[in-house]
Amino acid sequence: MDWSASTWWWVACGVLVAAEMTTGTFYLLMLALGVAAAALAAHGGLGFSGQLLVAAAVGGGAVAAWHFKRGARPAAAPAGSNRDVNLDIGEQVRVEAWDAEGQAQVSYRGAQWAARWHDDTPPAPGLCTIRAVDGNRLLLGR
């Protein structure tokens, strides 16, 4: 069985896609795109050097484009203060009293929670908003 150059490129593309599925890195898909372009170039009759150039240009360009696209996005908030990760962020709790270190015990969702003041203003009893969650402690503010 004699495989053509395009067959080898398609096999390499499949290997890259399989590797991406096991590792979860999107960059391998960009390289697979370059290898697929090289396979199409081989089908078109381009020589091996041209196929390599096509693979490098398309794959490298796709990796660079994805890298710059990801870099332009703003960084996500840390998980402890990200409403997309923790739905308690933004909810309100009632604080009866604060101690001298800015800590309190609050009842939230039917359980007692340790709470700490996490704002620039001085803590005061009353309705407070959950700003973040640090382990099993609520960080509160106004």
Residues above pLDDT 90, as percent of the chain:
65
pLDDT of 1? 59
What is the CATH number that goes with domain 79-141?
2.40.50.140
Q: Which has more pLDDT, 25 or 93?
A: 93
Q: What is the pLDDT of residues 29-43, one digit of tens each?
A: 999 999 999 999 999
pLDDT of 70? 85
Q: Is the pLDDT of residue 26 over 70?
A: yes
pLDDT of 77? 74
pLDDT of 54? 96
Q: What is the mean pLDDT of the chain?
A: 90
Q: What is the pLDDT of residues 95-127, one digit of tens each?
A: 999 998 889 999 999 999 999 998 888 898 999
Q: Is the pLDDT of residue 82 over 90?
A: no
Q: In the chain, where are the structural domains located?
A: 5-72, 79-141
| pLDDT mean over 36-56 | 95
DSSP assignments along 61-127, one per residue: HHHHHHHHHHHHSPPPPPGGG-TTT-TTTT-EEEE----TTSEEEEEETTEEEEEEE-SSSPP-SEE
Residue written as token pair 């979860």: 24
